[in-house]
Structure 1
Amino acid sequence: MSDVHTTDTVKRLVFAGREIILVGTAHVSKQSVEEVRGVIREEAPDGVCVEIDPQRLSALRQEERWSNLDVYRVLREGRGFMLLANLVLSSFQRRIGLETGVKPGEEMKAAVESAEELGIPYHTCDRDVQVTLRRAWARTSLWGRAKLLAALLASAFEDEKISAEEVERLKRTDALQAMMEELASYLPEVKEVLIDERDVYLARRIWESPGRKLVVVVGAGHLEGIVRHLERCAAGDEGVAFGDLETVPPSGRAGKVLGWLVPAVVLGLIAGGVVRHGWEGGLRMFLLWVGVNGGLAGLGTILAGGHPLTILAGVLSAPFTSMTPVVGVGLVTGLVEASLRRPRVGDLERLNEDIASWKGFFRNRVTRILLVFFFSSVGSVIGTFVGIPWLASFLGG
C-alpha cells in the first residue's frame, strides 16, 4: 500500500492498483462542502462512498424530516432517550450550521449531488443510525444515559459562539483525537459504539464497494481508524467483518437481575421495618419512599414544564415504576403529557428550528414531552439512590 497525503484532510491510498481517496470533513463547513465537490470533479472516480445511511440521506434530502414523527409510538417503544439524544445532537450541529451558514450534513448531500451530476454511482456506507443508537443505549446504564444527555444538553445550548475558523480547526487530527479520548474516559461504552465500531463498519463497506477508484467522504474523526482497518482488509484479515455490528445485543442476565434488585431491596427494607417497628414503622418507611422518589420525579417534571396533572402522575407512579424494570416513570409522564398537550402540526413543522435553542425546546410540545420524560426519569433515579440509604438508616434507628 502507498499513502500519499494530498492535503491535511485528504488521504490517497493505493492497494495493488486500487485507489481509495478519503476526504475528511467537519460536517458543518463551507470549506468541506467545496472541497468535496472539487475532489469528486477533479478525480472523476468510479464510485463515491458517503458516511451516511439511506434513512438519514432520505431525511437530509427532505425538508420536512420530522413531519411524520409519532411521539406516542416513540415513547411506547422505549425510544424516548434515543430520540432526545438525536434531537440534541441535531441541535448542536444546527447551531454551528447557523453560525457558519452551512446545514448539518451538507457535505454528504453535496457528494451525492456531485456524483449524480457526473453520472457516478454512489454508495451509502454508514450503519443505520437507529442500530447505532440502540447499540449504544443497550450498553449504557440509565444513569449513564442521563449523564450523556446532560452533557449534550449543556453543550448544545451554551452561549459561546463558534466561528467558522474554529469549526475548520476541528478537522485537525490532534484536536479530534483529544475529543475522542475525553469521550472514552467519560463514557467508554458509548465511544466504542459511536466511533470504534463504525470505523470497522465503514472500512468494510468501503472495501466492498465496487470500483478501482473511489472517493470516500467521511467525518475527519474517522480518518485514522478507517485507514487502519482498510489496511487490515487489504491484508485479508477476515476479522474485519460486519459480524454482529448490525444487530442490537439482548440484555444480559446480569442486567435483568440488577433490574429486579431495587424492588427486592426496597421491599426487603420495608418488610424489615414492619418486623422491627411494627406496621406503623413499615408505613412510615413506605411513605418515606413515596415522598423521596415521587417527590424528586415530580420536581423533574416541574423543571421540564409539565402539566399539573402530569406532575401528579409522576409523583404517584414513580415510587412504583422505580421498583420494576418493565415500565419507567418517564413513560407514564411522557404519555400523560402527550395526551394533555397533544403536539400540533405547527410543532412538527417548526421542530427543526425549535431544537436550536432552550426556549424552542420548551416551547415545542414534541420536545417538551421528551424533556418531561427525561427529567422525571432522572428525578426518579436520584430518588432511588437517595431513598434506599434513608430507608436503611430508618431501619437501623
Structure 2
Amino acid sequence: MVRSDNGSVFPRNVFVRAANLHASLYDRVGDRENCFDTTLVHLTERFNGKEVYLIGTMNQSTMLAQRTKKLIEEIKPDQVLVQAQPVWWEKAKLLQFVDSQEELNRYESYLNKDGHKWIEYYWNTRKYIFLARWALYWQTFSWHFRFGFDFKFWLPGIEVKYACEAAEKSGAQLRFLGTELNSVTTDRLVHETRMNVPQYFWRRLQYTQTPYSEENASNRQKIAQAGPKAFTEKCLDQHLINWYVASTEIFFPKVKEIFVDRRDEDIFKEIDQSEGQKIVVLVNQWHLEGIEHHWCNRYGQLPRSVAFEEPINPIGDMNLREGLFQRLYNYVGREIASSYTRGAPSTYADWIIGYHRESNWQYEHRDM
C-alpha cells in the first residue's frame, strides 16, 4: 500500500500513446519513442537545487550502456546509485576487457552466484513450501509473457558495470540499492501467501479475446523474432513498459505490488535521502515512472506522463469532415423529399440520432 506521504494523485502506468492528441488512430499505433529519451528522466527540485538523472535499464543494450557511461563522465555527479549488490561489483570489476552485454552473459553464473543468501527465520518446511509456490508462480509468469530464457532483465548487466566504472573514474560516491530480488523483497514474498495459479487462470479466462491478449501475443512475436537486444532498443519504450506493468497488475497483482510498488518506494527513499547536488540513479526501467511520480508528488511537480506539450483535443478521433457532410446530406435529403409534396420539411433533425426530438420544438434548432 502506497503511504500518504509518497502517494500521487496522477494515474500511473498509462500505456495509451497520447490519447485524443492525434486525429488518426494509426499515428498512435505505429509510434515508438526514442530509446535514449524514454530511458532518461531529469528530475529537479527548487528547494535545495538537487538534480537527479534517473536512468532506466533492461540490462540488454550495449549502446545504452555507453550512453550512461558518457553521461556520468560528463556531468561528474556527487553520487551514483545502481541497482546491484556490492559483491556483484567486486566480481564485475575484474572483467576489465568485457565490453558488451553478449560477452557479459557468459559470466552470468559467476557474477550472480552469491548475490543473495537465504536468511532462515522459520522451519525448513515453511521455506520449501515457499520455494515450491514461488517456482510454480514464476513458471506461470514466464509462460504468460514468454520473454525467453535469454532475456534476464532483472539481473545487472553491462550498463551497471559501465556506470560503476564511470563513477569510480569521475570520483563519485558509489552506492548500491540491491538487486531486484534482495533480502527485503524475499521477505515480502515469503509472507505473501495470496499468489496462486488458479487466480491467474480465472483472470486469463476473463480477459480472453481482449486487447490485452492480442497485444500480449504480438509482443511475444516481437521478442522471439527480434531478440532481447533489438526489442529493448527498438520497441521497449516507456509506453510498452507501462503496458507490461498494467498487465502484470491484472494477471499477477501481488507480483506487481511487491516488485514494482513497494520497490519504487524503497528506491525513492534512498534517492530522496541521498546527499549531493548531482545524483545519477540507474534502476530497472519499470521503476522509472513510479519513482518520478513519488518525486513530483514530494516537490509539487507534474510527471511527464500527464504533461502534454500540446493541449488535449477533446474531439479525439471524431471525423469532423464526415460529420459535416452527413448533416449536409440530411438537410438536402429532407428538402428533396418535401419538394415532392410542395411543402416545407416538418423537421431537420438528423436521422441517425439516438432519439427523436420532433415533439420538443424548443430544442429542435440544435440538430439543424
Q: Which has the higher helix share?
A: 1
TM-score (norm 1): 0.46
TM-score (norm 2): 0.49
Q: Which has the larger radius of gyration?
A: 2
